[in-house]
Structure 1
Amino acid sequence: MTRSNLVRAGLLALAVLVALRHVVSDWRLGASRDLGVEGDIGIYIGAINHLRSGGALYDFPLDGGRYGFTYPPFSAIVLRPLTWLDPITTGRVWLTVCVLVAVAVVGLAVVSRSWPTSVAGRLVVVGLAIGAFLGSVQVQSDLITGQVNLVLALLIILDVGRFAPERFRGALVGLAAAIKLTPLVVWGWYAATRQWRALAMSVGVFAGCVLLAWVVMPGDSRRFWTDAIFETERVGDADLRFNNSVMGALTRIGVDGSAKTVLWLLLGGALVLLAFWNAQRSRRAGDHFASAVLLGCAAVVATPVAWPHHQIWLPLAGIVLILRERWMPRLAGAGIVVFAYVHVPLTRWWDAHDLGWFFNHVDFAMFVGVCVLGLAAGPAVRQDGSEEDGAEVSAARPPSTRSPSGRRSPSAR
């Protein structure tokens, strides 16, 4: 075996070990808590059982300082299977599903990239990216709370990322929004970019889910859409430490009252529009995965309350940037991924040195940077031709400069 083959084999073995280590350690981290009782999944189970016993979904009694059920009524229908097993078993099954979903999301991120080009290189990158993603504070927060964000992110990526059949584009976004409202930000992008067919499909699926829930749970549906939807305190206080939305940042620096609302609408709206513009740039380059990530980041900055488990889009943005062919995006992506990976020890360090006033805003600044600067739009592997509205998604992809042998021509160097 040649030296180069030995190096490839060694890198591949290292990547596999890194991936396996984080799959196992993250699962054990989540399993160290009784998720079906203590985590957010325990709230889902408790609220649905409360509903089945004749209570109101949004009156589920709270204890231990936990919040109540905050999602639309349709989500109680989707999540009802969580009550079929005992809570401990359910928590571990859900944890396993979420770990596998995280692995799938990273796999989709890598296969949508144009670099690296070799199969061995892609396998190495997949292993290391799985380790980086699962090792991030955002993903670990999602796992230890038993949240639904990874599953919803997969639905959005399959849809906006163009992995799902074209004729159903928009349907998975509508389904995700019926479970949790934050994916509704994608509707604004569909409208701004005139993707009318996808918008109509998404709105139709969402409306169907809402109607089904209204037929099954009329009282709870009326309560949610007329009252509970406006009770943002059910999600948490905006001034809490790791709320990295525009509202959270404004609250932490002392802005209050109507001024905070106005600034939230202006700054949040501007960031969302910039994210839309950058997502459209990526779409025209054929990089639909990057478009999905940008829309996820837009949802984080726009929502009043965005906890770490909502922020899984940040390490994904870092992975996308690392896999660009230019060194500046790679450097920026590496900074995001490393910061997300070492977030917990860094938090302990800056707390010990009383530097929280600065470092508590770094995550928010990264989200702002992604929305404003985009993800270095460039051609991706997956090219789907023309869209329904006539926009050529592959227009930004330069002609191939490879010879039939696979070597680049001198003009490409």
Structure 2
Amino acid sequence: MTHIRCGMDVPGRGGALSVHAEGRQLPCGIVRDGNTSAGKERWRHVADVALVVLGAGFLAWLVSRGLRVGDQPNADFFDFYFGAVAVRDGQDLYRVNDGGYIYPPLLAVVLRPMTLLEPTTAANVWTMLLAALLITTAWLVGEETQRRLGLGFSRVRTAALASVAVVMLGQTWKSEFQWGNSNLLVLLAVVLSLRWVERWPAWSGAALGVAVGVKYLPIVLLPYLLVRRNWWAAGAFAGALGVVLLGPAMVLGWERNLEYLGVAFRG
């Protein structure tokens, strides 16, 4: 405990009150006990650690759900997987697996290496990839939250904020892992785009272009770039989107790629 003593108003010494605390002379006023602040900080740390443990446990549960994807033939992952098989074998991408693949051809082309694995094994690998994407995305959200709110930086606090993001959207992630979807790929690209929009606008636009090349929904963010007159970001968006839409032609051929894009955009 800190002991304090306020001095009297002494003529000839400026009339200022003073306080003597542990051998130091300070202006007289309210002196807070340092132990109180330290105690609060300890409790914050304990709370952060508890949130991290909760988030880790929830992530483990999500992974356990995802590892059952192989037992669900109608899971979204198998639309991607058999789409990649179609690309590998030269079949019609939009006719295999009951026409389940409805996206631009980029994802099917990128996932071709997974066709070297059996479908169930590939589904398990996909689940682990989703876990890595979720950890990365949530961590970036935690970092950006600290930066924008001026909370300083702490790895434990970042992990705690990431855990909050994971647990609060638990139902969304449950569906993502249970069906082996690809939304986390898109979400990571969108988070990177928003993170970079002020510091590296060109990279921000490129990330958004890649996101739209996988699924169309993030295109709703393009008007934001235009209204803000962020021409670097908007230009990079157009360039990146062109690359991810036309790039698969190197594998599929120009004619087939354009045909696939027409099918994808018609829905």
State the TM bucket, normalised to the shorter chain.
0.7 to 0.9
Within 1, Cα distance between the matches of 2:227 and 2:162? 37
Match of 1:34, SS state, is: helix
Deviation for aligned residue 1:125: 3.4
Distance 1:53 1:36, change over 3 A: farther
Match of 2:69, SS state, is: coil
What value does the CA root-mean-square deviation take over the aligned residues?
Answer: 2.9
Within 2, Cα distance between the matches of 1:50 and 1:30? 24
In structure 1, stretches of 5+ residues that fail to align are: 232-413
Within 1, Cα distance between the matches of 2:259 and 2:245? 13
Provide the residue aligned with 2:243 in structure 1: 208
Distance 1:68 1:124, change over 3 A: closer
Within 2, Cα distance between the matches of 1:124 and 1:207? 36
Pick one of 128, 132, 135 that aligns with 1:103. 135
AA aligned opposite 2:265 = I
Provide the residue aligned with 2:110 in structure 1: 78
AA aligned opposite 1:85 = L
Provide the residue aligned with 2:226 in structure 1: 191
Contact (CA 8 Å) 2:208, 2:218: kept in 1 or not?
yes
Divergent runs of 4+, >6 A? none
Provide the residue aligned with 1:268 in structure 2: none
Deviates more, 1:161-170 or 1:174-183: 161-170
Provide the residue aligned with 2:164 in structure 1: 129
Q: How many matched pairs?
A: 226
Within 1, Cα distance between the matches of 2:55 and 2:261? 43
Within 2, Cα distance between the matches of 1:179 and 1:4? 46
Provide the residue aligned with 1:143 in structure 2: 177
TM-score when normalising by structure 1 = 0.49
Distance 1:120 1:46, change over 3 A: closer
Distance 1:130 1:89, change over 3 A: farther
Which structure has the greater CA radius of gyration? 2
Provide the residue aligned with 1:271 in structure 2: none
Cα-to-partner distance string for 1:353-398 (whole Å, 9 max, x where unaligned)? xxxxxxxxxxxxxxxxxxxxxxxxxxxxxxxxxxxxxxxxxxxxxx
Provide the residue aligned with 1:50 in structure 2: 86
Cα-to-partner distance string for 1:136-165 (whole Å, 9 max, x where unaligned)? 211111111111111111111112221884
Distance 1:128 1:157, change over 3 A: closer
Contact (CA 8 Å) 1:47, 1:69: kept in 2 or not?
yes
Contact (CA 8 Å) 2:93, 2:101: kept in 1 or not?
yes
Cα-to-partner distance string for 1:18-49 (whole Å, 9 max, x where unaligned)? 01210111110111231785421111111221
Contact (CA 8 Å) 1:56, 1:220: kept in 2 or not?
no
Within 2, Cα distance between the matches of 1:208 and 1:118? 36
Contact (CA 8 Å) 2:202, 2:236: kept in 1 or not?
no
2:68 is equivalent to residue 32 of structure 1? yes
TM-score when normalising by structure 2 = 0.72
Within 1, Cα distance between the matches of 2:113 and 2:93? 16
Identity %: 20
In structure 2, stretches of 5+ residues that fail to align are: 1-34
Contact (CA 8 Å) 1:33, 1:144: kept in 2 or not?
yes
2:205 is equivalent to residue 170 of structure 1? yes
